Amino acid sequence: MKKVIIIGAGLGGLACGIQLQHAGFDVTIIEKNGHAGGKMMPVKIGDYSFDFGPNTITMPGVFKRVFSNVGESMEDYLELIRLDHHTKNVFRSGDSFIQSIDPHFVISQLAMLDPYGAKNYWGYLKEVNRLYGQAESGFFHRSFHSWLDYLSPGLTKAFFSVRPLETMAHFHKRFFSSPDILQVFNRYATYIGSSPYKSPATFSLIGHLEMNEGVFTVKGGNTKIADAFSQVFKKLGGTLHLNEEVSQIVIEKQRASGVQLKNGTKIKGETVIINGDFITATKQLIKEKDRPSFSTKKLDAYEPSISAFVILAGLKTFQKDIHHHHVFFPEDYRKEFQDIFTHQKLPDDPTIYISHSAYTDRGISKGSNLFILVNAPAVQMQSEEAVTHYKEAIYSRLEEQGIPIRSEIEAEKIYTPDSIAHLFHAYKGALYGVSSHKKKDAFLRPRNASKDTAGLFYVGGTTHPGGGSPMVTLSGLNVAKEIIDQHKKKDSDRTKSKKSTNS
Ligand SMILES: Cc1cc2nc3c(=O)[nH]c(=O)nc-3n(C[C@H](O)[C@H](O)[C@H](O)COP(=O)(O)OP(=O)(O)OC[C@H]3O[C@@H](n4cnc5c(N)ncnc54)[C@H](O)[C@@H]3O)c2cc1C
């Protein structure tokens, strides 16, 4: 059996491992942390349960394919619940707007908040649906190695039809005029770790996922997706090592031949797949002489995506007024991105996002389990005092909005860009690898097959097609297919050459 080693048990690594194990490969996944799922991480503090990482789940069909491709049924492992009114957005003006897949409900709110938006809403839904369709059929299921790939027949037209040259913020102005409502839709840029004022309008397709198809949650916690993936992987005979760290990829004659662990153990494999962060893993695990296409200088020049300042707060009394997804917007949204990307500092007046899964799934946790996230630059935090100061400022803002934090809080844990970098080996704590501000970085994400080393692949959110739980899962499916196809081709070439030698 051909041996495959996957470095990292994130969703991308697990999805890829499942497909390869099912196709007859002997797959070993090595994960440095004590849980499978990578950034999709369960956290328990006393009686409070939290999902760290993916709180907003879209594209359930992608997760379903991981199971159905190997003869399993997602429904046997997971119960997905669609949230009809999924996100409550609160503005400084005091107004609020609830996002929903019910267009009539959305239009009735827009009629009061943004009459221009109310008039255009059907057109918006149609256009984001079109963007999604073009991107899905043209780009999601294949890798791109150079701009030439976009010039292949059929793709050039598809490429220009996804509005790569327009910014997301500009695109949304075609449909909405209220600054409040524009913030709601521009926030989608943060789902790819970027600024709406710089990233391409292509990513407005996220609106299709949220406003046409719906936002989902998993009963018992979204981390159940990772649990289910690792169960299926092991059921198929795959080997999962937790609490083991890879320190080097062994490369001989420009071919990957295995890995070395931090404890000195060497494991051989004909194929090595990196699921860890592209920049960190390439720098740390591959000697510079073995990666001429990615010198350390070149890797250091990438602009990292957004990181996060996260507070997990357990409130003793259930807060029925905090929605499953609840967002408090700042006074000046553009300034938030200037603070993050230009001044590389924590925003003075940030957007505060809360995920409160107990709102939908009351049995999941004691009281209210608030996952509070503020966008942060991917840089080191200065000091413990700075962290406490920032946390207190967030609590004060929430209390001004009527959320009782200090009088209710019983459990608390804070994650900064530093701790995210440390926990997942994420480059400077970036959640999604490289930002999508430059056209090159948005459309030519690091390719899945290594340029320099045969038998070495990358899978996950920092490579193609991009970050976010469904995209990284897709990348797992794509990479597995690429490896399976390569092996099939090799086998058939070998059979042909044997036949021609015999005849
Ligand atoms: C705070 C936060 C909020 C998010 N919110 C959402 C959301 O709402 N919706 C959504 O869809 N997505 C969200 N995401 C993004 C989503 O979590 C990621 O895109 C996705 O989970 C990444 O999966 P991955 O396969 O790329 O691997 P990762 O989850 O990055 O896992 C890679 C694994 O590799 C391991 N590793 C690295 N180096 C080594 C080594 N040398 N040896 C062994 N193991 C190694 C790491 O420990 C890690 O477990 C969020 C992320 C964060 C952090």
pLDDT, tens digit, for every residue of 324-342? Answer: 999 999 999 999 999 999 9
| Cβ atoms of 276 and 380 closer than 8 Å | no
In this prediction, residue 466 carries a pLDDT of 78
In this prediction, residue 137 carries a pLDDT of 78
In this prediction, residue 125 carries a pLDDT of 97
In this prediction, residue 79 carries a pLDDT of 97
Q: What is the dihedral of CA 382, 388, 392, 398, to 10 degrees?
A: 80
Which atom number of ligand 1 is nearest to the Cα of residue 432?
Answer: 19
C-alpha 9 to ligand 1 mean position (Å): 9
Provide the 3-class DSSP secondary structure of residue 97.
strand
Q: Give helix 224-235 / helix 60-68 axis angle, nearest 10°.
A: 10
What average pLDDT does this structure show over 85-105? Answer: 97
In this prediction, residue 461 carries a pLDDT of 85
Domain ranges of the chain: 3-40+61-72+220-301+436-502
In this prediction, residue 155 carries a pLDDT of 53
Contacts of 337 (CB under 8 A, 6+ apart): 195, 196, 197, 198
pLDDT confidence band for 500 (50 / 70 / 90): confident
Which atom number of ligand 1 is nearest to the Cα of residue 245?
Answer: 42
**Per-residue DSSP letter, 242:** -
What average pLDDT does this structure show over 202-221? Answer: 94
C-alpha 39 to ligand 1 mean position (Å): 3
Residue 216: in which H helix or E strand, if any? strand 215-218
- The more confidently predicted of residues 270 and 446 is 270
pLDDT for residue 301 is more than 90: no
For residue range 358-390, list pLDDT tens digits in order.
999 999 999 999 999 999 998 876 689 999 999
In this prediction, residue 409 carries a pLDDT of 98
pLDDT for residue 154 is more than 80: no
DSSP state string for 355-391? EEGGGT-GGGSSSEEEEEEEEE-SS----HHHHHHHH
For residue range 402-459, list pLDDT tens digits in order.
999 999 999 999 999 999 999 999 999 998 877 665 656 656 567 789 999 999 999 9
CATH class given for the domain over 3-40+61-72+220-301+436-502 = alpha beta
C-alpha 176 to ligand 1 mean position (Å): 33
Which atom number of ligand 1 is nearest to the Cα of residue 58?
Answer: 11
To test the ligand 1 pocket, which listed residue (275, 310, 413) has its Cβ within 8 A of the most ligand atoms?
Answer: 275
What is the Cβ-side half-sphere exposure of residue 39, based on CA atoms within 13 angstroms? 31
Which atom number of ligand 1 is nearest to the Cα of residue 423?
Answer: 47
User: Which residue, chain included where needed, has tokens 């009061």?
Assistant: 112
Question: Whose Cα sits closest to atom 50 in ligand 1?
Answer: 53
Q: What is the mean pLDDT of the chain?
A: 92
Question: Whose Cα sits closest to atom 35 in ligand 1?
Answer: 8
**Alpha carbon 210 to its chain's center:** 15
| Residues having CB within 6 Å of any atom of ligand 1 | 7-13, 30-33, 38-40, 53-56, 245-246, 275-276, 281, 308, 310, 373, 420, 424-425, 431-432, 460-461, 467-469, 472
In this prediction, residue 433 carries a pLDDT of 78
Which of 105-119, 191-205, 273-287 is predicted least confidently? 191-205
pLDDT for residue 207 is more than 80: yes
Q: Give helix 60-68 / helix 11-22 axis angle, nearest 10°.
A: 30
C-alpha 253 to ligand 1 mean position (Å): 31
> pLDDT over 90 for what percent of the chain?
78
